[in-house]
């Protein structure tokens, strides 16, 4: 079973302090870790061409699990809808403090160590 990593790139809206955003997201993501078969990571560019940009990486334990949660691109399952409603403050924080930099992409893990 191949894992899937969903990559969502964001940048802060003008006037948002990085430390405020990072603290809010630490609290919100910690509350959002109850969707079976998934993990979320907030990362920040530290070197390279995307320094200071943020990624949320959403790890799914398998392609099958991702497809259970999102049966079709742009459509979420009832289970996912309940989870989104329960974690509304996470999505509100993202919307209030960031703008999406690029469309998301799901990557299949081909190999790992």
Is 69 within 8 Å of 80 (Cβ atoms)? Answer: yes
Where are the chain's structural domains? 4-108
Pick the CATH number of 4-108 from 3.30.565.10, 3.30.70.270, 3.30.70.100, 3.40.50.300: 3.30.70.100
What 3-state DSSP class applies to 89? helix
- Report the predicted TM-score, pTM, of the whole model to 2 decimal places: 0.82
d(CA 49, CA 96): 25
Q: Which helix (H) or strand (E) holds 101?
A: none
In the predicted model, what is the mean pLDDT of residues 69-84?
Answer: 90
Average pLDDT of the chain is: 90
Q: Which helix (H) or strand (E) holds 7?
A: strand 4-12
| Residues pairing with 40 in the sheet | 58
Residue 45 has what pLDDT? 92
Residue 78 has what pLDDT? 93
pLDDT in tens, 4-43: 999 999 999 999 999 999 998 888 877 776 788 999 898 9
């Amino acid at each position: 079973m191949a894992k899937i990593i969903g990559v969502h790139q964001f940048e802060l809206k003008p006037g948002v302090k990085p430390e405020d955003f990072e603290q809010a997201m630490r609290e919100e993501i910690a509350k959002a870790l109850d969707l079976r078969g998934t993990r979320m990571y907030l990362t920040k560019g530290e070197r390279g061409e995307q320094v200071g940009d943020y990624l949320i990486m959403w790890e799914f334990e398998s392609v099958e699990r991702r497809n259970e949660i999102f049966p079709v691109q742009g459509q979420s399952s009832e289970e996912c809808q309940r989870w989104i409603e329960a974690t509304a403050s996470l999505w509100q924080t993202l919307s209030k403090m960031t703008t999406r930099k690029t469309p998301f992409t799901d990557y299949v893990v081909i190999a790992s160590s």
